[in-house]
Chains A and B, each alone.
Chain A
């Protein structure tokens, strides 16, 4: 009875909320999925910090796959320490750590109460959007590494990397510019109103002059400070003989300002200073809205982000920590379990079992013996290794990807279509101005100058540019809510235009690390299953864990247990003996079958084979996408799953196996040479080149805080099956932009009508400009919000 009850009831971890399918640890009537989670609970409980669990349910971070003994000693190395300590006065210091794991208000609460855990911590403060914690601690009593250990101990292991972008200070200058432009715009508008209401002929000359000169005074900082970025950018592009998106804005602002100056000083009018400040203000707000994307995600990563900040170097038989830059050819390094090899090196001592899944996508570890060359990027699984460095970190096979030209010129690839449009726009407006000027030269020369400048003032590119800016900004925000984080709005446009989608296999189409074990052979009875489960539960090998996961039988006591590294395990219970391991280990002979064999009382029963699990709903997604796009699959893996994939992709022509990172990149290049626009969806470092090269590179990550390669966008793994809807949303957004273009064109034509007829009143410009801008913002934001509801 008891036994069935236990299996029906689903146990979830009190700490992290994951299901306790491997083991259940019970403490204080609470279930925990692993000892890590239990330890964190104990620490919090001892320190009276259990309010952590009241603020949100199961707020913890699963400790199951955490490194058990992270090496933070490197943080006490003076050079590395400097990267993290913001300031120090000799007794207390302030350090900043990036903790990508934090995700809820419980996290904030706990991390701001660190001082209760350790009295040497003075205070701590969280910046949630940046996923950062700033800790003030007494450095004499507590070295920096201990602070990191404390954080890791409660489940928040600091993310230490050599990211140079880390120190990037937030630039507030755009906010200042917006503030000043907005201030000037509102005040000038207010001062211009009396003139407008009087029909442009305010009787009181003193008042009129005062108002005009105050306006002029207010507009000076707008012209010279707020609008400076448009002038600089336009000038830079002109020097390259190219009209960029800022050129029409700079032209409009400059012409408006100069004409206003002329009117004011020649006493012929009161100028268009309110319109000018308005243009600058709205354009700056548009830019800010567009650029305000996901601050805590860094999209431009290079190899340094993946490697540890420091490695253990052996010198004269002594271990010490050195930073990556300090490593030279010939150095001897110690690589511990779960550590990455950071430079191509030769194995001197130890049994290497290198997991290259990070680089190649191939999930089976590769066994290397002394004398073999190990390429950078692999992760050691097992005992500690001693290696000698053959090449500098920056010259290693993996890091060469970043030296490839594909990376260098991949930067400007998501140039928005409005850039091209703005060029024609500028030319057309200039032509209209000239034509109008020529016409008035003949008919009425006194109006010629007005007619020349008026189109430039009124045909503001504002509405035109803002429509795309606001629409894209809104699209990015809505996609972010759906689990797709785009680097910038250009990516959305590239996605809408793409006609080819290339998928990676491992981790993209298949579920990451969630390989399924499939049993082949004689069927196991319930008793046998529980024997096998009791055996594998004692081993920490990933395969053992996977087998234990699929066997639901009861666990029984084991009297003898021995693990033979690289071979298998042997256990004895009261009645039976069980062997689980490689074919050679269990059967004493080998036919080269990679399965995990089991024998009970020396009777071979069968074997387990790891099988990759595909995401649910994949077939549906692929059949939908294949209607509109060409689909390809590139895998670094062997072709063992070819049949399955052929079914999915209906044919073998679109499926490629054993692709190296360079092959993948070359494949994308070839597609692009044929004039295709490519979306690449991948997850590993082996896709990094292809992601960079493609028109829109989307990295799959099951947790946005985890590892992902440099890319244009990050897609939450579980959302991949909705990719067709995302594509159609992005396409709709493209149509909304076109719609708002048409709308802004209508405004422009109306404005131009007044302008070329030489009768542009400041009041017309003042009404038309904000009215068109605001209506277009409402139009695009409203419609794109509506379209997003269908994703």
Chain B
């Protein structure tokens, strides 16, 4: 049964990792703007000089 204790510690360690990841992502501003990135990703990067048709 004592292996359970080890497993519990492991699982809490992993969970703590995710908690830290979450706190870090909030701190670095990843949740500040939840709209613009969803639009930004849909913009095509057109080349500056016009050459439509060529890929």
Q: How far is the CA of A116 from the CA of B50 in the complex (A)?
A: 13
State the Cβ distance, A195 to closest chain B Cβ, in Å. 13
Contacts of A176 in B (CB 8 A): 23, 26
Q: How far is the CA of A214 from the CA of B35 in the complex (A)?
A: 39
Check B54 for interface membership: any CB of A closer than 8 A. Answer: no
- Asked whether, in the complex, the Cβ of A108 is within 8 Å of the Cβ of B36, the reply is yes
- Asked whether, in the complex, the Cβ of B35 is within 8 Å of the Cβ of A180, the reply is no
Q: How far is the CA of A354 from the CA of B45 in the complex (A)?
A: 49
- Asked whether, in the complex, the Cβ of B46 is within 8 Å of the Cβ of A128, the reply is no
Contacts of A180 in B (CB 8 A): 19, 23
**Known contacts being A170-B32, A207-B1, A207-B4, is A105 close to B50, with CB within 8 Å?**
no
Chain B, Cβ-Cβ closest to A184 = B19
Find B36's partner among A55, A127, A179, A191 (CB 8 Å cutoff). A127
Find A48's partner among B23, B42, B48 (CB 8 Å cutoff). B48
Contacts of A405 in B (CB 8 A): none
Interface residues of B in 25-47 (CB under 8 A from A): 26-27, 31-36, 39-40, 42-44, 46
- Asked whether, in the complex, the Cβ of A127 is within 8 Å of the Cβ of B32, the reply is yes
**Known contacts being A172-B27, A176-B26, A207-B1, is A187 close to B15, with CB within 8 Å?**
yes
- Asked whether, in the complex, the Cβ of B26 is within 8 Å of the Cβ of A179, the reply is yes
Check A109 for interface membership: any CB of B closer than 8 A. Answer: yes
Contacts of A206 in B (CB 8 A): 1-2, 5
Q: How far is the CA of A127 from the CA of B40 in the complex (A)?
A: 11
Contacts of B40 in A (CB 8 A): 108, 112
State the Cβ distance, A177 to closest chain B Cβ, in Å. 10
**Known contacts being A48-B50, A183-B19, A187-B15, is A210 close to B26, with CB within 8 Å?**
no
- Asked whether, in the complex, the Cβ of A175 is within 8 Å of the Cβ of B31, the reply is yes
Contacts of A191 in B (CB 8 A): 8
Q: How far is the CA of A74 from the CA of B48 in the complex (A)?
A: 34
What is the interface size of chain A, counting residues whose CB is below 8 A from a CB of the partner? 30
- Asked whether, in the complex, the Cβ of A128 is within 8 Å of the Cβ of B32, the reply is no
Check B10 for interface membership: any CB of A closer than 8 A. Answer: no
| Interface residues as binary, A91-113 with B (CB distance below 8 Å gives 1, 0 otherwise) | 00000000000000100110010
Q: How far is the CA of A130 from the CA of B42 in the complex (A)?
A: 20
Contacts of B4 in A (CB 8 A): 207
- Asked whether, in the complex, the Cβ of B46 is within 8 Å of the Cβ of A207, the reply is no
**Known contacts being A172-B27, A183-B15, A207-B5, is A51 close to B36, with CB within 8 Å?**
no
- Asked whether, in the complex, the Cβ of B48 is within 8 Å of the Cβ of A116, the reply is yes
Q: How far is the CA of A307 from the CA of B2 in the complex (A)?
A: 71
**Known contacts being A130-B33, A214-B12, is A105 close to B39, with CB within 8 Å?**
yes
State the Cβ distance, A87 to closest chain B Cβ, in Å. 15
State the Cβ distance, A316 to closest chain B Cβ, in Å. 47
State the Cβ distance, A386 to closest chain B Cβ, in Å. 45
Q: How far is the CA of A211 from the CA of B8 in the complex (A)?
A: 9
Interface residues of A in 150-171 (CB under 8 A from B): 170
State the Cβ distance, A184 to closest chain B Cβ, in Å. 9
- 24 A-B interface contacts by CB (under 8 A): A48-B48, A48-B50, A55-B43, A105-B42, A108-B39, A109-B39, A112-B40, A112-B43, A126-B36, A127-B33, A127-B36, A128-B36, A128-B39, A170-B32, A172-B26, A180-B23, A183-B16, A183-B19, A187-B12, A204-B1, A206-B2, A207-B4, A210-B5, A214-B8
Instruction: Give A contacts to B, CB under 8 Å.
Output: 48, 51, 55, 105, 108-109, 112, 116, 126-130, 170, 172, 175-176, 179-180, 183, 186-187, 191, 204, 206-207, 210-211, 214, 218
List 17 additional A-B contacts (Cβ < 8 Å) besides A127-B33, A211-B8: A51-B46, A105-B42, A108-B36, A108-B40, A112-B43, A129-B33, A129-B34, A129-B36, A170-B32, A175-B31, A179-B19, A179-B23, A183-B19, A204-B1, A206-B5, A207-B4, A210-B8
